[in-house]
Amino acid sequence: MLQKSKINLQIWLLALASSVLLSIPFLVPHCGLVSLFAFIPLFAAEQIAYNNGRKHFFHIAYISFLVWNLLATYWVWFATPPGAVAAFILNTLQMTILFSLFRWMRKFTNGFLPYIFFCIVWLAWEHSYQTWQITWPWLALGNSFATTTKLIQWYEYTGFLGGSLWVLLVNMLLYRIILLRVRQKPIRISVVALSAIVFIPIISSLCIYYNCREEENPVEFAVLQPNIDPYTDKFGGMTQMQQTDVLLGLASEASKDVKEQILVAPETFIFTESWSRRLQEEAPGNNRAYAAIENWVVGEEARGNEKSFIVGAVSYNGERYYNSAVFMEPEGDSVITVEPEYYHKSKLVVLAESNPFKNGPFKFMDKLVKNIAGGIGDFGTQPERTFFETAGGAAVGTAICYESVFGDFFREWANNGANVMAIITNDGWWRDTPGHKQHLNYARLRAIENRRSIARSANTGISAFINQRGDIVQRTAWWERGYLTGTLNLNSEKTIYTIHGDIIGRLSSFLTFLFLLMGVARRIAKKHSLM
């Protein structure tokens, strides 16, 4: 009995050790390499359970992945407690199912094949998870290197899934070496393979990083951070016009002595004060905040200076509301006018901006979810990633908040012709937690994947300029009103990842199907052999 308790304690300690190791890269800067051995304790815990005939491991894996989710993304609770609970439970459940499939495969295959299957099925899940209506891909393993960007410059070929593949391969090979060592079997070939898989990507990345030279094609940007508290001021404490005065004051300061400039303001800055004053796309001038910004664009300060303005807004087109980016630029010589353009956010936050239970097989849950979650947004989307083209030649793709987390989605702007990117967001919902820092750093991955400079405007987060190598070249402080001005280089060249997307994910999805067929076939064969 004592021996059994000791084994149980050992299993639990190992499983929880993986939880901590997997969390460290998301919480501690420059610790991405920790993820390369983070799964080993969990593999060891499962091996001990397997050797001791324990059939039930689901609850151990579930707790291990749940602790990882809680440690790395606990901050979601501050924005939406119901959404946080759903994210923790469902994300953990999916991870645990993947690990359970690995255990299931062990029953019908020998050697290291089940570990290879685990690697493939995890990659397939991370790829497909990006396209689901209910999705939370924040903890994709490739995101572990968001603060270790010098080591993953090859994301321009593979995207973030290349990082996930790297993590899984190194963990598997390290664990294989440990098992071979314990069993006193030769490890030379495995050590050579491991060394190649660890060091070739690192050396290649450093070579790419230090030899990467941006073509000089500068455009002047200003990012504005009005720092309006989303809980107390944004939607009630301050009027829309008071907020607009703050924003235009920053714009005037940022535009002094600069002739040509693109100004970027945060997500949902223009919101609906009343039904009659909502921002109607066919008649935006009826909204006072829009009218004030338009007047600034064509006014004395901007006249003859080619100022362009991108600002977030809640807009209405006669049928649906949208979380939008609005682009304004002066047109004409004698009579200066503005013809606004719109991009509508298309990766919506579940419950806050979209209701996945409104239609389809889960429609019966609609009323229940509304009662639990309260107000649910019902925003529209658009099918393509469009960009704003300025008179100066910049083609600015504008990702809105959560959209910057989706690598395969984000690349569509560059693939469609954007030569520079803006990100507009409002990260103050999460308070001063790791959430807004993680969100900022994920933008660095998108810059590398597509080799696009990024101007990031956050209402109450961290605004920044990011170059094509993923370096943060300028940034504001957290929770401080201010602005940044500087130049970003345009780039129209497309990376391998920009053109082809998640090749690794698509291939893994196909291989997962083949592995599952093999597992089913072997199970049937094994059952028949016992009859």
263 and 144 within one domain = no
274 and 390 within one domain = yes
Answer yes or no: is 514 within a domain. Answer: no
Q: Tell me, what's the pLDDT at 4? A: 80
Q: For the segment 326-345, what is each residue's pLDDT rounded down to a tens digit?
A: 999 988 665 567 889 999 99
Answer yes or no: is 511 within a domain. Answer: no
Q: Are 193 and 173 in contact (CB under 8 A)?
A: yes
Q: Tell me, what's the pLDDT at 333? A: 61
Answer yes or no: is 368 within a domain. Answer: no
Q: How far is CA 40 from CA 18, 44, 198, 224, in A?
A: 7, 6, 16, 44
> Each residue of 2-23: b (16+ CB within 10 Å) or e?
eeeeeeeeebeebbbbbbbbbb
222 and 205 within one domain = no
Query: 338 has which bridge partners?
Result: 330
pLDDT in tens, the chain (531 residues): 667 888 999 999 999 999 999 999 999 999 999 999 999 999 999 999 988 888 889 999 999 999 999 999 999 999 888 888 989 999 999 999 999 999 999 887 778 899 999 999 999 999 999 999 888 999 999 999 999 999 999 999 999 999 999 999 999 999 999 999 999 999 999 999 999 999 999 999 999 999 999 999 999 999 999 999 999 998 888 999 999 999 999 999 999 878 889 999 999 999 876 666 789 999 998 899 999 999 999 885 545 577 899 999 999 998 899 999 999 998 866 556 788 999 999 999 887 788 776 665 555 555 555 444 444 567 899 999 999 999 889 999 999 999 999 999 999 999 999 999 999 999 998 889 999 999 999 999 999 999 999 999 999 989 999 999 999 999 999 999 999 999 999 999 999 999 999 999 999 999 999 999 988 888 787 776 655
- Residue 93, phi-psi category: left (phi > 0), alpha (psi -120 to 50), beta (remainder): alpha
Answer yes or no: is 84 within a domain. Answer: yes
Q: Tell me, what's the pLDDT at 277? A: 76
397 and 496 within one domain = yes
Give the SS3 label for residue 454.
strand
Give CA 403 to chain center in angstroms.
7
Q: Tell me, what's the pLDDT at 164? A: 98
Give the SS3 label for residue 310.
strand
Answer yes or no: is 515 within a domain. Answer: no
Q: For the segment 482-504, what is each residue's pLDDT rounded down to a tens digit?
A: 999 999 999 999 999 999 999 99
Give CA 492 to chain center in angstroms.
23
Q: For the segment 463-476, what is each residue's pLDDT rounded down to a tens digit?
A: 999 999 999 999 99
Answer yes or no: is 361 within a domain. Answer: no
Spatial CA neighbour of 212 closest among 145, 150, 161:
150
CATH number for the domain including 427? 3.60.110.10
441 and 319 within one domain = yes
User: For the chain, how far is it from start to end, CA to CA, in angstroms?
Assistant: 36
118 and 232 within one domain = no
296's enclosing H/E stretch is helix 288-298
227 and 128 within one domain = no
Between CA 360 and CA 6 the distance in angstroms is 49
At residue 406, φ and ψ (nearest 5 deg) are -100, 100
464 and 493 within one domain = yes
Q: Are 242 and 474 in contact (CB under 8 A)?
A: no
Q: Name residues whose C-beta falls within 8 Å of residue 368's C-beta, 6 or more positions apart in sequence.
A: none
Structurally, the chain folds into a number of domains equal to 2
236 and 195 within one domain = no
Between CA 429 and CA 77 the distance in angstroms is 10
323 and 297 within one domain = yes
How is residue 292 annotated by DSSP?
Answer: H
Between CA 514 and CA 450 the distance in angstroms is 31
Q: Are 218 and 489 in contact (CB under 8 A)?
A: yes
Look up the domain containing 447 and give its range.
Answer: 218-346+381-500
Answer yes or no: is 180 within a domain. Answer: yes
278 and 157 within one domain = no
Answer yes or no: is 123 within a domain. Answer: yes
284 and 334 within one domain = yes
